[in-house]
Structure 1
Amino acid sequence: MSNIAQQRIQREFREVVKSKEIAESGVHLELIKDDLTELAGTIAGPPDTPYQGGKYKLEIKIPDTYPFNPPKVRFITKIWHPNISSVTGAICLDILKDQWAAAMTLRTVLLSIQALLAAPEPSDPQDAVVARQYQENQQIFRETAQHWASVYAGSSYKNPAFDKMLSQLKDMGVEETAARVALSSCAWDLQKATEQLFN
């Protein structure tokens, strides 16, 4: 990595770490490797969203060509969101692809990802199943996103009906994560999820 890129990342890293505004919005950044090519981010689920109360970990890889190319960012914490893959954590966000500009910073990236949690774009999905649910059944989408936030990101949401269905599938020998994915993608229709798993 060039000295220019390293100096730039050091500056941006300090900017995020020292920013009061960033800290208050629940965004954190830490170094994984001393050479600044790998960082770890944490984003708090925004208030008044299904992600509220959750803490989401991000993997941030800085390319050698930074700042002329965007960092590679993905969610490590599983999340139910139209623009984030529920399987890989890949993020569909224009500034991480073709709308990146060299003037943008890590701060821009982190705040933009947090804003994406509050304002999904189902018309440009990363996860088609989640996007379809978001468009067709807002209530189920919200409850599913809250359930995932409690299981994976530590929010305090509880849904006894969902827990009961998960237990029923686990009693049939289905592994918990597979059961959760099937139920989530079948809008918590136990019959449909069972058919999907066993057919």
Structure 2
Amino acid sequence: MQARIKKELKDFQKKKKDGSGVEAEVVGTDMQHWVGTLIGPKDTPYEGGIFTVDIQIPDQYPFAPPKCTFNTRVWHPNISSQTGAICLDILKDQWSPAMTIRTVLLSLQALLCTPEPDDPQDAQVAKQYKTSPKEFAKQAAEWTQKYAKEGLKIDEQEQKIKKIMELGVKRDHARAELVKHGWDADAAADSILG
């Protein structure tokens, strides 16, 4: 598994400026924890946004899919507006060992172009997408402006996650609270502490 991960990382570095709009890097020294970056596709409400995705690579990789969640808040039927959880078949039952972290990020970028409202992660967003497409596009574009324009650096996100984890909460919960509060560590801490 480690050899495969190292090879994938090397491939990413080779293709850094290939114009695909996806990149990834290891967080610290943990080869099984990456953060991916994808640029919002042209002619979508996500255009111009820079979205980061937390990628946890399981011990069973590549025979099991990576666990991916959006760090950047995004208004999309297949991505939870609260936690960043993603509903995408290749991250569940349609995973294949031939896939790579790169193909996952490219698939997430494609998902931003073509939402699947009939298989939603966020029912509220899916309903708006189906019943009020203009309102959906407006809100998705507003969220892109608000949350995906400045794009916290990956190490800044990590520092904030660790700070919240010091309160005794698990990583996923800490990250979800930070995402919910626009990466404001004080607001996330207040929310957790009640």
Q: TM-score range by the shorter chain?
A: 0.7 to 0.9
Secondary structure at the aligned position of 1:81 is classed as coil
Cα drift, residue 122 of structure 1: 0.4
CA contact (8 A) 1:83 1:120 kept: yes
Q: Deviations over 1:92-132 (max 9, x none)?
A: 00000000011111111010000000000001000000000
Q: Which residue of 1 aligns with 2:149?
A: 154
Cα drift, residue 35 of structure 1: 3.3
Query: For 2:87 and 2:40, how far apart are their aligned partners in 1?
Result: 17
Q: Which residue of 1 aligns with 2:31?
A: 36
Query: For 2:102 and 2:22, how far apart are their aligned partners in 1?
Result: 9
Query: For 1:145 and 1:43, how far apart are their aligned partners in 2?
Result: 16
Q: Which residue of 2 aligns with 1:78?
A: 73
Q: Which residue of 2 aligns with 1:118?
A: 113
Secondary structure at the aligned position of 1:37 is classed as strand
Query: For 1:154 and 1:86, how far apart are their aligned partners in 2?
Result: 17
Match of 2:136 among 131, 136, 141: 141
Query: For 1:142 and 1:23, how far apart are their aligned partners in 2?
Result: 28
CA contact (8 A) 1:16 1:106 kept: no
Q: Deviations over 1:125-144 (max 9, x none)?
A: 00000000000000000000
Q: Which residue of 2 aligns with 1:27?
A: 22
Cα drift, residue 17 of structure 1: 2.1
Query: For 1:23 and 1:34, how far apart are their aligned partners in 2?
Result: 26
Where does structure 2 lack aligned partners over 5 or more consecutive residues? 151-179, 182-194
Q: What letter corresponds to residue 42 of structure 1 in structure 2?
A: T
Query: For 1:17 and 1:45, how far apart are their aligned partners in 2?
Result: 20
Q: TM-score, normalised by structure 2?
A: 0.75
Whether 1:13 aligns to 2:18 is no
Relative CO higher for 1 or 2, CA cutoff 8 Å, sep ≥ 6?
2
**Worse-superposed segment, 102-111 or 126-135:** 102-111
Match of 1:61 among 49, 56, 67: 56
Query: For 2:47 and 2:149, how far apart are their aligned partners in 1?
Result: 10
Q: Which residue of 2 aligns with 1:105?
A: 100
Cα drift, residue 33 of structure 1: 3.4
Query: For 1:55 and 1:42, how far apart are their aligned partners in 2?
Result: 7
Q: Which residue of 1 aligns with 2:155?
A: none
Where does structure 1 lack aligned partners over 5 or more consecutive residues? 156-176, 179-199
Match of 1:95 among 90, 94, 97: 90
Bigger Cα Rg: 1
Q: Which residue of 2 aligns with 1:131?
A: 126
Secondary structure at the aligned position of 2:31 is classed as coil
Runs of 4+ displaced beyond 4 Å: none
Cα drift, residue 14 of structure 1: 1.3
Secondary structure at the aligned position of 1:88 is classed as coil
CA contact (8 A) 1:43 1:55 kept: yes
